[in-house]
Amino acid sequence: MKKLLVLIVVCMMGSACADIELDENPPSLLNPETFFTTESEFESALAGAFRPLYSGYSSFDYGYPLIMTSGAEDVRSDAGIFLDLDRLAPNGSDQSILNVWRQLYQSIANANTIIGNLGNADIPEERLNELEGQAKFIRAFNYFFLVRWFGEVQLTTFENQSDVENLKQATVTEIYESIIANLKDAESKLPDSFEEKGRPTKGAAKALLAKVYLTMAGWPLEDTSKYALARDKAKEVIDSGIYSLEPNFANLWKEENKLTNREFIFAFYGSIASDGISGSHLHVASRHWGNGEGGWGDFYSEDRFFNAFPNSPRKDATFTSVFADGTSWEDAGVQPHMAKYRDAGDTVGNDGEGFVVLLRYADVLLIYAEAENNAEGAPTTAALEAVNQVRRRAEGFDDINTPSSVDIPTSMSQAEFDKAVIEERHWELAFELNRWFDLVRKKMVVEVNKDVHPNVTENNRLLPKPSAQLIPGILDQNIGY
């Protein structure tokens, strides 16, 4: 790991996600002491912070992060290399875990190098702030995934990342404090928008911060004071007027709308340019391999999830239940498949122009509803309205022409409403890397899996850290592995 991090410091990698047009003309030797001075050099380094997260089949462009959430009901795989994760029996040698761990820390190391060299910059303050804000957002983004998957991990910075062999893993509290500090600074420095889609904005920093606070209110920290902070930060995103629900849920998942809809707050966008180095791959990985689909069938959904999912236009747009040749998933003898990643636009080979959304407005509305209810001790009118907006859109209605039966009853208790919001998150955010983390923070992992996977225990709330990265007394394995 130390060699990897040092290599990253001296060798910034290629381009980032598609629609971020970053200038890359690094000199042959990128010495951190002399390289980071001009805007183009910092932009090239920023590309190196994004690229590990969406390239080369190792991270969000492919299914490894999805498979690492397959302990939830929405995602399933029967592939040999993924089977242990799906059956809640992972081990520290799992390919998915090791690859994602490396990519997240690679991105962190590149972000650290940007942040650690800001003092060398000869760049106007406004542009420097934008670069710093993006680097701190992506660093926080990476640590948020690491702490939720693995708990205590090493908290690397520019100053200490060359000495990781002696850097003791940080506590969960320390990691969250770092995430909050980075996001607050990013929020203060980022603009409301960029011309290039795919860059984190002020709204993205606010939305991610709201999600961080909501997570801190649950397991393992269970700091319920964070509900009010999550509510307030989500409200800022709602009140900004920048984002709104796409009227037609199905249109969210069309590649042609990925840059124009007002619901996406932060997403990675695939590109077939540059030999597909940042191409999307979820469109082939999540398609059925047979019945005219031409996919790989690496992962799909579960019949228990499909059968429980409320019938609605949202369900129709969430699943591929009838394949290209007209055969249903039942008749084909397989599981229902994912539809959200199906459209990748133009493709070259297995590379596409698809996308994966990490933060969208519907998520913010549901964060607000859950946090408001728990902060106030009962569902308020504002909390009800937030979740009902999502429910109305799911049924194909707008806020004016909706039957009263679609809305959540106003008579619900705090506990009943909380359960209803978690269920709504289950349906709305399926296959978007949310359900597993909801189960963990709400301490529901055993409850929803015990009938299907009798081996499940509370230890499954965390994944095993990669065995190859462990250093006794420095980076220790999680309990149960």
- Average pLDDT of the chain is 92
Quick count: other Cβ atoms within 10 Å of Cβ 312? 17
More confident residue, 402 or 293: 293
For residue 399, the model assigns a pLDDT of 75
Q: How confident is the model at residue 31 (pLDDT cuts 50, 70, 90)?
A: low
Q: State the Cα–Cα distance between residues 94 and 1, nearest whole angstrom.
A: 17
- Side-chain-side CA neighbours of 137 within 13 Å: the count stands at 28
User: Mean of the pLDDT values across residues 429-439?
Assistant: 98
Integer angstrom CA distances of residue 294 from 211, 285, 325, 350: 36, 10, 11, 11
Judge whether 369 and 389 are in contact, CB under 8 Å: no
- Per residue, the 3-state secondary structure of the chain, as one string, reads CHHHHHHHHHCCCCCCCCCCCCCCCCCCCCCCCCCCCCHHHHHHHHHHHHHHHCCCCCCCCCCHHHHCCCCCCCCECCCCCCHHHHCCCCCCCCHHHHHHHHHHHHHHHHHHHHHHCHHHCCCCHHHHHHHHHHHHHHHHHHHHHHHHHHCCCCCCCCCCHHHHHHCCCCCHHHHHHHHHHHHHHHHHHCCCCCCCCCCCCHHHHHHHHHHHHHHHCCCCCCCCCHHHHHHHHHHHHHHCCCCCCCCCHHHHHCHHHCCCCCCEEEEEECCCHHHHCCCECHHHHCCCCCCCCCCCCCCECCHHHHHHCCCCHHHHHHEECECCCCCEHHHHCCCCEECCCCCCCCEECCEECCEEEEEEHHHHHHHHHHHHHHHHCCCCHHHHHHHHHHHHHHCCCCCCCCCHHHCCCCCCCHHHHHHHHHHHHHHHCCCCCCHHHHHHHCCCHHHHHCCCCCCCCHHHHCCCCCHHHCECCCECCCCCC
Q: Following CA atoms 34, 40, 46, 48 in sequence, which dihedral angle do they give, to the nearest 10 degrees?
A: -80
pLDDT band, residue 26 (cuts 50/70/90): very low
Domain regions of the chain by residue span: 2-23+30-226
Contact at 8 Å (CB) between 11 and 30?
yes
Give the pLDDT score at 153.
Answer: 98
Q: Which residues of 420-442 are buried (b: 16+ CB within 10 A; e: fewer)?
A: bbbebbbbbbbbbbbbbbbbbbb
* Contact indicator for 22, 87 with CB cutoff of 8 Å: no
Q: What is the pLDDT of residue 387?
A: 98
Q: Is the pLDDT of residue 6 over 90?
A: no
Higher-pLDDT residue of 17 and 406 is 406
Structure tokens at 151: 């708990």
Report the top-level CATH class of 2-23+30-226: mainly alpha
Output the CA angle 303-71-391, nearest 5 degrees.
60
List the one residue out of 60, 17, 140 whose CA is nearest residue 358. 60
Least confident of 26-35, 301-310, 315-324, 395-404: 26-35
Q: How far apart are CA 224 and CA 218, in angstroms?
A: 7
Q: pLDDT at position 14, please?
A: 36
Structure tokens at 181: 């500090």
Each residue's pLDDT tens digit, 353-387: 999 999 999 999 999 999 999 999 999 999 999 99
